[in-house]
A and B are shown apart, each in its own frame.
Chain A
Amino acid sequence: MTSQMFGAPVKRREDPRLVTGGGRYLDDLGHSALAAAFVRSPHAHARIVDIEVSDALDVDGLVGIWTHEDLPGRVGEPLPLLIPHPTLTHGRTQFALARDEVNYVGEAVVMVVARDRYVAEDVCQRIRVDYELLTPVVGIANARDGSALVHDDVPGNVACRMLQEVGDVDAAIAAAPHTLELDLDIERSACMPMEGKGVLARWDSDKGELRIFSSTQTSTGVRAAVAAKLDLPLAKVECIAPDVGGGFGVKINHPWPEEVLIPWAARLLDQEVKWTEDRREHFISSAHERGQLQQIRVGFDDDGRVLGLDVKFWHDNGAYTPYGIIVPIITSTQLLGPYKPGAYRCEFWSLYTNTVLVTPYRGAGRPQGCFAMERTMDAIADRLGLDRAEVRSRNFILPSEMPYDHGLLFQDGRPLKYDSGDFPASLAKLKALVGWDDFAAYREQAEAEGRRVGLGIGCYVEGTGVGPYEGGHIQIETSGRVNVSTGLTSQGQGHETSFAQIVAQELGVSIEDVFVTTGDTRRMPYAVGTFASRAAVMSGNAIALAARNVRAKALRIAADALEVSAEDLEIVDGDIRVKGAPGTHMTLGTVSVMSNPLRYAFDEAAKAATQFAGTADYSKPPVADDDEPGLEGKDFYSPTQATFANGMHAAIVETDPVTAEVKILRYCVIHDCGTMINPMIVEGQVHGGVAQGVGGALYERMVYDDSGQLLNASFMDFLMPYASEVPHIETDHLETPSPLNPLGIKGAGEAGCIPVTAVIASAISDAEGFAITSMPISPVELWELRQRHARGEIPSLRGTRHTPSAPVTSAPVTSAPSTPSREAP
């Protein structure tokens, strides 16, 4: 038998290439291309009065300078609003180059193309743009206040107000024995892939064809958008995503201004043109996420069961809404996690600010929702003096209630209906893994040693694998090489391995013979893209279906040739043989030869396949009426709804009594993404997600000043966690297969980061004895909260445990110990 591939922890086949410098990323391509650079707005909100380029024109190597007035036709129109929504009443998008007004620091104003990037940057420095400054709107509170406007024609800065309600929330809360209110705050962060964005365009003037390479999460999307903008037939545009060094969401928004302008310039100049984003550009002109203020009102019974949940939140969508309101919709629906409140209402406002756009970042609105729900669960437990895990479990949707319809509309406009999941089992596993019931004793011992520790928990459900569809195409060459293609793109997730595992398993071939191509519109023109933890579910199933098609065809041809019934055949390691009689066999390569009657012989295999070879039945055509030449199969997978993965995390943290440094002692993950294709890849995804989550919980924030300048736009100042900050992650899996797709799988890409902020907030609250309501939290902030708590400005948790003694003020020292202290190993 061919060894079991599906479900095996196969090492990622792409890694040796990627980690030894064999990858071909965007900037590795187009060595002789002209280079583009952009003059970007230094102001958050201003009117463009004048652009003066005369000082720049004599720079040697300059090819061209363009401002908005140079952009013809649709290139000069606003960029598309990709995902309209009925409640997005005031959607606004930017121009590829700003026309009259700039709305965030970093908005592109002038494009320069030159011999190389050095020259282009020099030219940019010589271009003078005069601005008339307008009042910038920075921060959700200022946006909500509405006294200054980002867009003159958008009253109150409200892009969208959306309300969904299931049941009668006001009545449910009014009748509830207990009520609580929470005000929560979560900061901005950003994807920060190792590779920024980048575009390379080649215009073939002989054929009138455009080839675009983009570091994108959707090559079909970029292709269609550019064809439309440049008024080219789709057939004359192709788009390829080369190796992409991470996306995490920021590269699903499209077309970015540069994705329109670079191809346009390449055609205009009839030369190859490239733009590679630098890190500062990425900070100030690629999208951010997170960033919400939340108000929660909850009514619950004596057992902690939620009777009514009323959520209002204000979402900072930055200056424009090209990706619609996907992020806040996800927050508003996925907030519910594994729970079933008696009645639920969520109202949100998506607000404009004079900051760079907000589009999905790994987790895409879910970390915010999870934070709201899980802080609420902790608050309920504290109010009632109940165990936090117990309160959660009393609110769980039970396996017997699956599929569970929340009565809400999800991000795809379809019902929010969970397909499967066993939340009580997940919680039991988590409690066992972290030692939930032994924690009280551990804490007692730690406190006796003068250490302050806390245990936190967070649960989430993630809608994954949203539609509408993906396709898979498989073609087997006469050598036995299996070419697999799917249209969505890869940014390092291991698709070359996991998709190959599916094909190896379905076809019965060795994984070494399987070659996967993603994100190339020449190979698979119909595709959507990589986002929403959808690649394995969508393309994985499409590829499996395609493999089943090609397998059926191979067996049919072999059965004919071997004069046996197809049901009696099996494929082992690329060899088709009669079950129980392995002496009667032929390879898939041979079947591929036979499947394609040739006119010309160019090698031995081809000679065997020519129409003159062997005996022929002259009554039949070489290719039967209902058949096609070649050994290939293709299929699409289009589900009726998303699959819902889930997970539960717990962490034990220690907070330094003097410095308020937060140290994660243990981090435990129970993860259920249905049937796993490759548990090693799933764990890698979870680890990376947790690492990003730790960044969002303790380190990363976008520090804008009042004038809308991003103060920490560098890796020196924007603290991403390094290996030294990421805890050892203990993982256990539960596999509740999805009933929705042939492989029983659910997505895993975003899972790891979703609950981390909630979990760490829960653990710090538990350690400190007062509720943490704003994240991320730095040692300085925690230290200040301690002072406020000591002054009685922040109430103590009632809970079941005593509050630790007042913060140790290092008495002999005159000053505030307000800094994290960490020593390198």
Chain B
Amino acid sequence: MRPVSYAVPASVDEALAAIADLPGAKFLGGGTNLVDLMREGIEAPDVLVDVTRLPLAEITETADGGLRIGSGVRNTDLAAHPLLRGRYPVVAQAVVMGASGQIRNMATVGGNLLQRTRCLYFYDQAAACNKRERGAGCDAAAGHNRMGAILGASEHCVAVHPSDLAVALVLLDAQVEVVSRSGTRTISVGDFHRLPGQTPDVDTTLAADELVTAVLLPPEPLALRSRYRKVRDRASYAFALVSVAAALEVRDDSVTQVRVALGGVAHKPWRATVLEEQLTGRSATDEEFERAARAELAQAVGGPDTEFKIGLAVRTITATLRRLRDEGGAA
């Protein structure tokens, strides 16, 4: 039996004090991931510091025309927000393709970024998992692992990050605002999650005493021409085998701007920088899309259960870019 105590801080300062002073404390958002992990015995906090009553659930327009999304905004509210839907369709699409309606009603933006992998071996207490226990080994590498990573994995971990939202945020170069008692800082979403390396038990660059307070979306006209596509075993309530967030601008049949980020393939949302570099300035043809996609995936490593994801990623990227082009990527 593990008794857990529960605290409801009245302010951000109180929350930061609680996390810093109470041993074994963890922030609790919507609870859609942490509570599951506690049930499974994967997470075992002593104190839950409920941050859902803090004033962090606002979406506001920033002076430069971007959006500031409070970390406590529920996924459902985020996806329904008119400014987000209008200016950043890829984000709204990514959110509604994640989880289920019930879960999105509870899940928060901060919690979404901090959710942990769905690797079956991470959940299976009988299996060795370096993410659960550093140095324990990784049974997933040689196991049944269709969901495994094909990019950026290490010998210590082949888990992937399950968030859809984060993939769209990486595409848009969003910033994560975090506070601790020593002050406020922002972290680029692309630097927020990490590759596993030697320490797959560390998911993010967030410090233990820091609280995510907001996500900042910069103004980005290209985002108007963005799209999220998610490939999975069932059309709803399933994690991505491969997902693609993409934005494309075409002028005179040439690619003037392109961005692509991938989900379901790596320990973090994967920004396809090789592709972006190779495709910019090229003609906006299916062949070029596919060539650039293949160049991005050249560094991919598949296993017996994940080899298919390489080809799937190439085709999904190509199809997503094609669709963006056909529906009016031209400026």
A724-B235 CB under 8 A given contacts A812-B290, A823-B229, A824-B97: yes
Name the A residues within 8 Å of B146 (CB-CB): 819
Task: Choose among B2, B236, B238, B312 the residue that contacts A821 (Cβ–Cβ < 8 A).
Answer: B312
A719-B230 CB under 8 A given contacts A815-B308, A815-B311: no
Q: Mark A160-200, 1 if CB is under 8 A from B, else 0.
A: 00000000000000000000000000000000000000000
Closest-by-CB residue of A relative to B306 is A815
A658-B230 CB under 8 A given contacts A122-B1, A725-B235: no
Query: A424 near B: Cβ within 8 Å?
Result: no
Name the B residues within 8 Å of A814 (CB-CB): 310-311
Q: How far is the CB of A41 from chain B (nearest CB, A)?
A: 14
Closest-by-CB residue of A relative to B93 is A824
Name the A residues within 8 Å of B314 (CB-CB): 813
Query: A722 near B: Cβ within 8 Å?
Result: yes
Q: Using C-beta atoms within 8 Å of the partner chain, give the interface range for chain A.
A: 20 to 34
A820-B233 in contact (CB<8A): yes
A815-B230 in contact (CB<8A): no
Counting chain A CB atoms within 10 Å of each CB, the highest count among B1, B231, B239, B307 belongs to: B1
A822-B229 in contact (CB<8A): no
How many angstroms from the CA of A717 to the CA of B239 in the assembled complex?
10
Q: How far is the CB of A485 from chain B (nearest CB, A)?
A: 37
Name the B residues within 8 Å of A820 (CB-CB): 231-233
How many angstroms from the CA of A699 to the CA of B229 in the assembled complex?
22
Name the A residues within 8 Å of B97 (CB-CB): 824
Q: Apart from A126-B1, A815-B307, list 9 A-B contacts with CB within 8 A.
A: A59-B1, A125-B1, A658-B315, A722-B234, A725-B234, A812-B294, A819-B231, A819-B309, A822-B231
A819-B241 in contact (CB<8A): yes
Seen from chain A, the residues whose Cβ lies within 8 Å of a Cβ on chain B are 59, 119, 122-123, 125-126, 658, 699, 711, 715-717, 719, 721-722, 724-725, 780, 810, 812-825
Seen from chain B, the residues whose Cβ lies within 8 Å of a Cβ on chain A are 1-2, 96-97, 118, 120, 144, 146, 229-239, 241, 290, 294, 302, 307-312, 314-316
Q: How far is the CB of B305 from chain A (nearest CB, A)?
A: 10
A824-B235 in contact (CB<8A): yes
How many angstroms from the CA of A611 to the CA of B276 in the assembled complex?
97
Task: Choose among B120, B229, B239, B311 the residue that contacts A813 (Cβ–Cβ < 8 A).
Answer: B311
A711-B234 in contact (CB<8A): no
How many angstroms from the CA of A26 to the CA of B307 in the assembled complex?
47
How many angstroms from the CA of A823 to the CA of B230 in the assembled complex?
6
Counting chain B CB atoms within 10 Å of each CB, the highest count among A126, A719, A724, A819 belongs to: A819
Name the B residues within 8 Å of A125 (CB-CB): 1
B233-A818 in contact (CB<8A): no
A823-B307 in contact (CB<8A): no
How many angstroms from the CA of A699 to the CA of B235 in the assembled complex?
12
Name the A residues within 8 Å of B96 (CB-CB): 824
Closest-by-CB residue of B relative to A61 is B1
B315-A822 in contact (CB<8A): no
Chain A residues touching B, majority SS:
loop
How many angstroms from the CA of A823 to the CA of B97 in the assembled complex?
9
How many angstroms from the CA of A716 to the CA of B36 in the assembled complex?
13
Name the A residues within 8 Å of B290 (CB-CB): 812
A815-B302 in contact (CB<8A): yes
Q: How far is the CB of B13 from chain A (nearest CB, A)?
A: 32
B316-A825 in contact (CB<8A): no
7 residue pairs bridging A and B, Cβ less than 8 Å apart:
A59-B1, A125-B1, A719-B233, A815-B307, A817-B315, A819-B146, A822-B231
Q: How far is the CB of B287 from chain A (nearest CB, A)?
A: 9
Which 3 pairs show the lowest CB-CB distances between chains A and B?
A724-B235, A122-B1, A813-B311
B234-A822 in contact (CB<8A): yes
B308-A722 in contact (CB<8A): no
How many angstroms from the CA of A125 to the CA of B302 in the assembled complex?
38
Q: How far is the CB of B173 from chain A (nearest CB, A)?
A: 25
How many angstroms from the CA of A815 to the CA of B309 in the assembled complex?
8
A821-B231 CB under 8 A given contacts A813-B311, A815-B310, A816-B308: yes
Q: How far is the CB of B239 from chain A (nearest CB, A)?
A: 8
A817-B312 in contact (CB<8A): yes
Closest-by-CB residue of B relative to A278 is B39
A813-B231 in contact (CB<8A): no
Q: How far is the CB of B14 from chain A (nearest CB, A)?
A: 28
Counting chain B CB atoms within 10 Å of each CB, the highest count among A122, A125, A814, A824 belongs to: A824
How many angstroms from the CA of A717 to the CA of B146 in the assembled complex?
12
Name the B residues within 8 Å of A122 (CB-CB): 1-2
Name the B residues within 8 Å of A816 (CB-CB): 307-308, 311
How many angstroms from the CA of A125 to the CA of B233 in the assembled complex?
34
A825-B235 CB under 8 A given contacts A122-B1, A817-B312, A819-B312: yes
Q: How far is the CB of A119 from chain B (nearest CB, A)?
A: 7
A823-B231 in contact (CB<8A): yes
A823-B315 in contact (CB<8A): no
B1-A119 in contact (CB<8A): yes
Closest-by-CB residue of B relative to A123 is B1
Q: How far is the CB of B112 from chain A (nearest CB, A)?
A: 17
How many angstroms from the CA of A825 to the CA of B229 in the assembled complex?
10
A716-B312 CB under 8 A given contacts A722-B237, A812-B294, A823-B231: no
How many angstroms from the CA of A817 to the CA of B316 in the assembled complex?
11
Q: How far is the CB of A146 from chain B (nearest CB, A)?
A: 28
Name the A residues within 8 Å of B241 (CB-CB): 819
Counting chain B CB atoms within 10 Å of each CB, the highest count among A59, A123, A699, A812 belongs to: A812
How many angstroms from the CA of A35 to the CA of B241 in the assembled complex?
40
Task: Choose among B234, B236, B311, B312 the residue that contacts A699 (Cβ–Cβ < 8 A).
Answer: B234
Task: Choose among B234, B302, B315 the residue that contacts A810 (Cβ–Cβ < 8 A).
Answer: B315
Q: How far is the CB of A823 from chain B (nearest CB, A)?
A: 6
A822-B235 in contact (CB<8A): yes
How many angstroms from the CA of A3 to the CA of B308 in the assembled complex?
62
Closest-by-CB residue of A relative to B118 is A716
A818-B308 CB under 8 A given contacts A119-B1, A813-B314, A823-B230: yes
How many angstroms from the CA of A725 to the CA of B237 in the assembled complex?
12
How many angstroms from the CA of A717 to the CA of B96 in the assembled complex?
20
Name the B residues within 8 Å of A658 (CB-CB): 315
How many angstroms from the CA of A479 to the CA of B176 in the assembled complex?
68
How many angstroms from the CA of A716 to the CA of B120 in the assembled complex?
11
